[in-house]
Amino acid sequence: MFGVSFLSPLFLIGALAAAVPILLHLFHRRTEVVIDFPAVSLLTRAPIEQHRRRRLREIVLLVLRIAALVLLAVSFARPYVAGAIAPESAPVTVVVADTSMSLSAPGQIERVREAALNAIRSAPAPNAVALVAFADAATVVVPATTDRAVALAAVPQLAAGPGGTRYRTALARAAELIGAREGRVVVITDLQQAGWEVTDEGGLPDGVGVEVVAIPPPSSNVAVTSAERRDRTVVATVQNYGPDPARMPVALMVDGKKIATVTVDVAPLSATDARLNGAIPAAGAAQVVVDDATGYQGDNIRHLVLEPRPAIEITVVVADPSGATGGLYVERALAVAGGGREFKVDAVDGRVFSSWTAEAVSRQGAIVLVGTRTLDRTGRALVKNYLANGGHVWLTLGPDIDPATLGDVIGANLGVIAAPVTVMGGTIMVASDGRHPIFRPFLNPSGALGDVQVDQHRRLNDQTGRTVLARFSGGDPALTEQVVGQGRLLIFTSDLDNHWSRFPLSPAFVPFAVETARYLTAGRQQKQAWVLPDVPRGIVAAPGVATVSEGTTAPYLVAVNVNVRESSPATTSLEEFTAGIERTSRAGLPAPVNQAREIENRQRWWQIGLLVMLVALAGEGLVGRRAT
């Protein structure tokens, strides 16, 4: 309950000094002398003192003197109000309740609540109690308190949510509540095996006891683990995590109406696809629903967006006004990405590009500069400002590039040597770092890029801040990356139009062009499918379909779903759970007395006590002076 504690309680002994004015008052109390008057006429000449008024004044003086001495002692004792929170030195029992999606099977959360009530009631009498609910994050429902009625009243609030299980996150929050004092932790969970798989950090201090209350998982679970639209069909994956075959109806819902239904047979511990055909709208949202009444309820629904993700706009700037060959190979290579839906590629010559507005240029996910000879001053300024403001440019140094104007186009001195280098017999390109995203498709077979012959290229002077991603076999840079302004610039020192090399005709060209475009436009894609706990900014972390509005991009729909790793009922043993708890040293933790000092320093009741004491002394002086 609410209470007052003292940082230096020994000073309270000084309050005994309040007995001094009491004793003085008793010893000096005067008894009125009875005077016999022989004549009433003499009364008018005798001094008369009002007895009752004098008694009241003496009592007031006594109270003020006692109050001043008591306040002085209490102020030196440094009081602070602990409130409903338990004293920092009191041992604490932290009840940690699992409220992840794996507790959504029928009857499970009720068992969690009952176990939490028993843990609070059975906590040792001297202990304070705290209640923590955890899934992807850990929330302190009730901080450490000696009022167990408050903790018991909060238990019915526990409910299974869509989040995943993260044991280390929960233990870290319990450790924060315990601090440097004695404590014990009661973990109520279904011991889901996936709870230890995430790379979180957190453990318990040395000496903190752990008790685990296991909630039995369901015997089986059937979940919808994925769903996507393929033209006029929605294909969903239904996973059976149980040891027995499952026969389940699967429905496609749009705006609360059932569009299609199919029954699937799923073998034990396996998955199958459910193909749902019907009058599917061209846009909007849908849900795939499986009727699993005994397993986890949180993974019975999978949300999806029906319209395709908007393609990323990429402009290829060429020098040929007719557009006969310039940029043709890049345009065709990017057209196959994502089944033709990932990029929207527009090849324009420099004159057309120069007529664009700055807003139209800013919408581009990337700009590929194949030719600059027909870019006028306005066009060069558009590219320069686009790059400086965070745009991404892929520059090729082929025959249609004018090295003399590159400084105006890029906004930086690139150190390009104008005269091309001709290599008799050709040279090959070798990746400097095969793990770079652009070169991942070429890890197997490793020699895919080695088959590309380049006859001519331009040389670059070395510059600080420029990273060489690939070199030609002679040692000259082939592909570089650098930051210009707030943007990113990639430079390919040969051409991509089949003039200086046969690279555009090689099978390696398409994956090279696609992965380079993806690398440049990373972060600009409109991601439609999200898995908890990750959600777009401003969106509630809950399963469903929401609208995202960001910057100049038109609003679009996103689907948020539960993490399917939570769908497996596989459990760990009590021994494995206990062994997985990382123990941390108490060294460096603030001692309870220091924590109490921090609370007292924030409240500073001793200052108020001294102020009131001074007021009492001033009042005592004023009343005493009037008495004389």
pLDDT in tens, 288-341: 999 999 999 999 999 999 988 778 899 999 987 665 456 888 989 998 887 777
Find the Cα–Cα–Cα–Cα dihedral 210, 215, 216, 220, rounded to 10°.
Answer: -120
The Cα 96–Cα 466 span in angstroms is 51
Kindly list the structural domains of the chain, giving each domain's residue range(s) and its CATH number in brackets, ordered by start: 4-77+608-627 (no CATH), 92-217+571-589 (3.40.50.410), 235-305+563-567 (2.60.40), 312-520 (3.40.50.880), 529-561 (no CATH)
Residue 619 · residue 241 · CB < 8 Å: no
| Strand duo 257-266 + 246-254: pairing | antiparallel
Residue 528 · residue 519 · CB < 8 Å: no
pLDDT at 251: 97
Measured between alpha carbons, how far is residue 448 from residues 3, 122, 240, 463 in Å?
76, 68, 40, 29
Mean per-residue pLDDT, 591-615: 69
pTM above 0.85, yes or no: no
Q: What is the pLDDT of residues 448-491, one digit of tens each?
A: 676 778 899 999 998 888 999 999 988 999 999 999 999 999 99
The Cα 608–Cα 81 span in angstroms is 13
Give the mean pLDDT of the chain.
85
Mean per-residue pLDDT, 238-248: 95
**For residues 440 and 296, which has the higher predicted lDDT (pLDDT)?**
296
Chain centroid offset of residue 232 CA: 37
Preceding peptide of 445 cis, ω within 30°: yes
The Cα 290–Cα 300 span in angstroms is 5
Mean per-residue pLDDT, 223-246: 94
pLDDT at 1: 40
Measured between alpha carbons, how far is residue 485 from residues 391, 413, 482, 520 in Å?
9, 12, 10, 15
Nearest to 12 by CA among 81, 66, 69: 69
The Cα 16–Cα 19 span in angstroms is 6
Cα atoms in the 13 Å half-sphere on the side-chain side of 34? 1
pLDDT at 46: 46
pLDDT at 44: 52
Listing DSSP states for 9-23 in one string gives GGGGGGGGGGHHHHH
The Cα 625–Cα 628 span in angstroms is 5
Q: What is the pLDDT of residues 511-554, one digit of tens each?
A: 999 999 999 998 777 788 999 999 988 899 999 999 988 665 67
pLDDT at 595: 53
Q: What is the pLDDT of residues 78-104, one digit of tens each?
A: 776 655 445 566 789 999 999 999 999
| Strand duo 301-305 + 285-290: pairing | antiparallel
| Strand duo 477-484 + 454-457: pairing | unpaired
Place of tokens 């040293």: 585
pLDDT at 198: 67
183: how many CB neighbours lie within 10 A of its CB? 24
The Cα 362–Cα 336 span in angstroms is 24
